[in-house]
Structure 1
């Protein structure tokens, strides 16, 4: 994970958490999770931010743990949702998570914060933590032409979707599309895949 991005999220955690709270709920993403995730399946939210989606997952029958690289965001999540579980870990390594641990893995708009050369390794690790038959929901913000940083210093890496698929191994693609995220209004690429 890009260290400058982690630092930006940690130091600006309260501002980012408030921004995400004020956005409309990502109803389009939630509909896809309800359609594709295994009900009752052990679930990980990789890059959980302020915990909003971990709370939704737990409320909708997907017992979930949230993971994030930014201590400040984890503090925001733990404060907002004290009964839920949040842990510190980061792509591409996810050192604290064993192989084949989860039935469902959500990784919403995180990949673009990795240097482009780390994307295949990160995707391979997301694949690794899934159990056979498990489902991965993966999305990233589409960056046009060149990698850039925003005003807060967050990295938005440019990479092709083929680089993502390269890391996914023997998975069955269920969805592979670009769309506008209804919550953020940003263009995202969404990929849903099932481990064989």
Structure 2
């Protein structure tokens, strides 16, 4: 029992350390630098973590090494929408993710590991959007199109195998055009935004 408690505390120390590092420090680095050689297959003897590494692989916890294959023929153009609508849409996805984690995982250790993997993937995308990673700013069309299959008609989760692994994400990448990125001004603007957020986070903590 003591050994299990020690393992849980070690896990929380690992995750909290990553999540609590200053935003400005994390934003300037590549997530892939801390995503290698982490294995949680059957961690702590938990059956809920059986096969965990099979999704992205034990050497790519966040999926940051995935290859991007751009689908030019399905290019889309970004459109301007009220920011409150975007915030609402993302809040829906955010709360739905919480529902998935809390309703379909009972082990707190697995909840923490899955949440950090989910969170880390968005940190990687932030680096993409900030032009810090060298990757294209887009999404996997095939995976994104499955969102309508997440729920059954009765409101329950659809728990069938969707037929893809984490290593497949990026093989059908669509890059919407229309971004206002400017090599002269955008890097400084992004740096200023992230610094402001990091400063506010440090002050409020």
Question: TM-score, normalising length from structure 2?
Answer: 0.21
Structure with the larger strand share: 1
Largest Rg, 1 or 2: 2
Relative contact order (alpha carbons < 8 A, sep ≥ 6): 1 or 2 greater? 2
Structure with the larger helix share: 2
